[in-house]
Amino acid sequence: MNPLATQAALQILSQGGNAVDAAVAAAAVLGVTDPYSAGIGGGGFMVIYLAKERRVVTIDHRETAPASFHPRVFLEANGQPIPFAERVTSGLSVGVPGTVMGWEEALKRYGTMGFAQVLAPAIRIAEQGFPVSETFAQQTRANQERFNYFTSTRSLFLPGGQVPAVGSTFKNPDLARTYRSIAIGGSRIFYRGPIAQAIVDTVNRPPLSPGVTANVRPGRMALSDLADYYARILPPVVSSYRGYTVYGMGLPSSGGLTIALALNILEGFNLGALPREQALHLYLEASRLAFADRNAYMGDIGFADVPIPGLLSKAYAEEQRKRIGQRAAEGAVAPGDPYRFFEEPSPVLRPRARNASWEGESTTHLTVVDKEGNIVAYTFTIESIGGNGMVVPGYGFLLNNELTDFDPTAPHPNAPEAFKRPRSSMSPTLVFKDGRPFMALGSPGGATIITTVLQTLLNVIDFQMSWEEAVAAPRLSQRNLATTTVERGFETSALARALEGLGHRWTVTGEIGAATLIGFNPDGSLTAVAEPVRRGGGSAGVVQPKPEGR
């Protein structure tokens, strides 16, 4: 997490706010300092532990498809999918943003402060500015061509037509004014009135720069789409692993279910007693099987009959476990049949298996705990790095392109439909042991979020790594593909060669995920951990309690 966001969370905690207040404050700052990853133009998932009530709740504020959507919306007249590059940078890809509503629901239901208090740090930073980091400059440079497509985006992020220099001060007065409006009027200011109208205008009539010839497709969003948006308060996905209880996010996030699937499969192996290459082989193949089911069955439960009881069944996991061989599967495997593990009769019609579509990696995650023991694991995003590329003119925030997460070809549980929320991989996760908090974690990284969280859990529980080692360890991500994605450098290691002997093959990338984690130690202390290197290194901090009498 950005150091300024960490400072904002600590400031709110020191002022008597709870974990929910601090999480929203940090998220608002990230909307200023990390605008290409998250912000009020997007959405997310929040998992909250309420210490006094000893229960876990979740807030789904994922973006929603407009009323104009239908299963063929991403298809050309000839039935072929619209080119992905044209879906990404378009009004067509924008879902109704859910972040502001999610923040408000969290504060009203579970917080102790209002918008005016928790948005104050972000407003100050937006007005006074912050130093441009190498990551900010690099991400701006990577988006320079499409940012130039839009007058509002070019004006904000390419002042004078140039990428801001590393170390220079970047200010966003329009976003500061937007936050001030929300601080005064709440979510109603965002979803009704001038801001809502500006969002609709941007989606339906992209603010193209003169002379742009790119095919930027408009969307069809209405004011009623924003006025009708709501956040959903849902129970978590609950699973168990070696005596630990794991709470994850439910659909339309596929993270909680997919992690539970993989853990259930792996529970039948004593990973900690095996040679590391054997243990990692099992981790990769369990991930492959879990992703096969994810890709085939998961979508928004308001629209899809997802076989959740079967997917979470230990008996189903036992059957799936038998499919893992001594060598890696050659390419994608077929999904299993969780319907047979229902108490109800098995449906005749089954979804078609399909490999996962591309999912943007521009996401951010934060984890907070307060002195009362309340915990928040929060992942939120605008999808691609830079979202859909369009800044809402006069308001200082980028819009999402989350609707590219739909599978463009129906029928499928994740096919586009009006008011539907696209499937996500975001995986904010809480882990308990004997009824007490043990670990809270999450990560950005598109579909690799799921494997990042899963591998971190195994690192701690099975491989007995310290909190810091578990986050820093090299990552491998298998998502039911012919090759496993690994971080650069791993492919030359002795462990990689041993896994190659078991049939594994690699696709090399610079980094996978960017986790934050809070570990609860046996002596009652906490350990806050952020990435030491990935994405330029993260930020973690604590508020030291004041001595009695001071």
* Segment 439-491, tens digit of pLDDT: 999 999 889 999 999 999 999 999 999 999 999 999 999 999 999 999 999 99
Provide the pLDDT confidence category of residue 349 given band limits of 50, 70 and 90. Answer: low
50-80: per-residue pLDDT in tens?
999 999 999 999 999 999 999 999 999 999 9
Q: CA angle 135-360-83, nearest 5°?
A: 120
Q: Which residues pair with 253 in a beta bridge?
A: 424
356-368: per-residue pLDDT in tens?
444 444 578 999 9
Q: Which residues pair with 233 in a beta bridge?
A: 59
Is there a domain that residue 380 lies in?
yes
Distance CA 291, CA 334 (A): 10
| C-alpha 269: how far from chain center | 29
Out of 33, 202, 363, 452, which one is annotated catalytic? Answer: 363
- The predicted pLDDT at position 536 comes to 67
Mean per-residue pLDDT, 511-531: 92
Model confidence at 543: pLDDT above 90:
no
- The predicted pLDDT at position 549 comes to 41
85-113: per-residue pLDDT in tens?
999 999 999 999 999 999 999 999 999 99
Is there a domain that residue 151 lies in?
yes
- The predicted pLDDT at position 530 comes to 84
Burial of 165 (C-beta count, 10 Å sphere; 0-12/13-18/19+): exposed
Is there a domain that residue 31 lies in?
yes
Distance CA 360, CA 163 (A): 22
Taking the CB of residue 283, how many other CB atoms lie within 10 A of it? 22
Distance CA 174, CA 163 (A): 19
Is there a domain that residue 394 lies in?
yes
CA nearest neighbour of 22 among 126, 124, 120, 128 = 120
377-431: per-residue pLDDT in tens?
999 999 999 999 999 999 999 999 999 999 998 889 999 999 999 999 999 999 9
E-strand stretches of 51-134: 55-61, 130-131
Provide the pLDDT confidence category of residue 534 given band limits of 50, 70 and 90. Answer: confident
Mean per-residue pLDDT, 221-250: 98
More confident residue, 445 or 532: 445
**Concatenated DSSP letters of 142-208:** HTHHHHTTBHHHHHHHSGGGSPPPTTSEE--HHHHHHHHHHHHHTHHHHHSSHHHHHHHHHHHS--B
CA nearest neighbour of 31 among 63, 64, 2 = 2
Q: What share of the chain is helix, strand, coil (3-state, %, to 5)?
A: 35, 15, 45
Phi, psi (rounded to 5 degrees) for 539: -135, 135
Is there a domain that residue 379 lies in?
yes
Structural domain of 374? 3-229+370-405
- Cβ–Cβ under 8 Å, residues 366 and 23: yes
145-203: per-residue pLDDT in tens?
999 999 999 999 999 999 999 999 999 999 999 999 999 999 999 999 999 999 999 99
- The predicted pLDDT at position 347 comes to 54
Residues in Cβ contact with 368 at an 8 Å cutoff, skipping those fewer than 6 apart? 9, 13, 19, 22, 23, 26, 375, 376, 378, 518
Mean pLDDT of the chain: 93
- The predicted pLDDT at position 410 comes to 86
Tell me what percent of the residues of the chain surpass a pLDDT of 70: 93
Q: Which residues pair with 437 in a beta bridge?
A: 432
Number of C-alpha atoms within 13 angstroms, CB side, residue 441?
35
| Count: domains in the chain | 1
Distance CA 352, CA 332 (A): 14
Amino acid present at 115: F
Provide the pLDDT confidence category of residue 344 given band limits of 50, 70 and 90. Answer: low
**Tokens (6 digits) for 324:** 């893992």
Model confidence at 355: pLDDT above 60:
no
Cis peptide before 411 (omega within 30 of 0): yes
Provide the pLDDT confidence category of residue 533 given band limits of 50, 70 and 90. Answer: confident
Is there a domain that residue 262 lies in?
no
Burial of 545 (C-beta count, 10 Å sphere; 0-12/13-18/19+): exposed
Model confidence at 529: pLDDT above 70:
yes
Helix or strand run (H / E) with residue 198? helix 194-204
- The predicted pLDDT at position 342 comes to 76
Is there a domain that residue 138 lies in?
yes
Active site annotation includes 451: no
- The predicted pLDDT at position 356 comes to 47
Q: Which residues pair with 365 in a beta bridge?
A: 379
- The predicted pLDDT at position 1 comes to 59
